[in-house]
Amino acid sequence: MVNVVTIGIGLQVTSETDVDVVRGPSCSGKTTATRILRQILTHSVVIYQDDFYKASLKPEDKVPLHPETQYGNWDCPESVDFDRMAAMIDYVRTHQGCLPEDYDSNEENNVHDGSSLVSESTLASLKELLAPFMKDHVFVFVDGFMLYYDDKVASQLNLKFQFTSDYQIVKERREKRQGYHTVEGYWVDPPGYFDKVVWPEHLRLTQYYHQSIQGLHQIDTAKYSIDQTALRVAHIIRDNTQCVSP
């Protein structure tokens, strides 16, 4: 029997005008780091928060509209079916890291991450770091920017990572993206979407965080390259995996 290790990779964004740290939007490098590690860990799967938007699970459900702009609001917790997401994590944990046969990830079609750009030397270092765990462990990566909003999701994660980055850096990265594959088609952020919808939504989320997350490993991706970030995650996995119970 193998050990099943669930690893959450989320995001916080810091603003230069606000000393409080809040959970923030995408474009921190979390998906890139996840996919790099998946290349190395042969027994691993990824569960994406973005596959659990209510609109993707039930055609009759629509993406909530932002009241001021009337844009589709993909960045609010009301848009995500956390119950279904928690149930999926539980399924994978109790089925030795196997996804259901009918599981179809829309997020896998979004390939605008930089995982293919990782250097060969970094891949070699990652393999050396994680080799002792490849035989007897299955790693389940859970990727999303609201992972720690819902207790049913957060409570199932053995290791919790929070990638931090600067507001301006994340804004620039997101606005440079061409778009996203979604259940409603190919979504491209309208002009001003980040400041009008994305950023205010994540400020709004702070009212729900009454308790600090215990055992959260924070990595500032504004200071490190993606190679360095992946190596830092791998070191933390190595140092903490041995004590995880099957």
Which residues are the active-site residues? 50
Strands 180-182 and 185-187: antiparallel
**Cα 206 to Cα 201: distance, rounded to the nearest angstrom:** 9
Contact (CB, 8 A) for 10 and 23: yes
Q: Which amino acid is at 184?
A: E
In 3-state terms, what secondary structure has residue 70? coil
Cα–Cα distance, 204 to 225 (Å, whole number): 30
Q: What is the CB-side half-sphere exposure of residue 144 using CA atoms within 13 A?
A: 29
Residue from 125, 154, 115, 141 nearest 43 by CA = 141
Nearest to 72 by CA among 60, 85, 63, 80: 63
Helices (H), 66-166: 82-94, 120-130, 151-154
- Interatomic CA distance for residues 180 and 182, integer angstroms: 6
